[in-house]
Amino acid sequence: MKYLKDVATLKFYHDKCTGCLRCVEVCPHGVFTEAGEKVAITDLDLCMECGACMKNCAFDAIDVSTGVGCASALINAIITGGEPSCDCSDNSSSCC
């Protein structure tokens, strides 16, 4: 199931990844996949920002602000009267 397009705050640091695959195991939506000796993101829009990957990564290879991207998108939609999306034209740190 895809969530809101282009709003997830998930950051993956490939250089810190050891390939333990813990994130693959705990992610409820298949955001991560095994890629050679490490991990890769399959589709960032699958991320629901639950934080399970970050909490289970012993190597600080993942960072996510749980719920921030989705909340920002919904608030922007309410304010503008549009569809939930993330307008990053202002380069705000609370968006994308």
CATH number of the domain at 48, please. 3.30.70.20
Q: Tens place of pLDDT for every residue, the chain, 96 residues? A: 666 677 788 999 999 999 999 999 999 999 999 999 999 999 998 998 889 999 999 999 999 987 677 667 777 777 888 776 544 443 333 333
pTM reported for the whole predicted model: 0.70
Question: In which domain, by residue range, is 57 found?
Answer: 11-80
User: Is there a domain that residue 6 lies in?
Assistant: no
Q: Residue 42 burial (CB < 10 Å; 0-12/13-18/19+)? A: middle
Residue 70 domain-assigned?
yes
Domain count along the chain: 1
> How far is residue 42 from each of residues 24, 30, 47, 63, measured CA to CA in Å?
10, 7, 10, 16
Examine residue 59 and state whether it is found in any structural domain, yes or no.
Answer: yes
Is 94 part of a structural domain of the chain? no
**39 in a structural domain:** yes
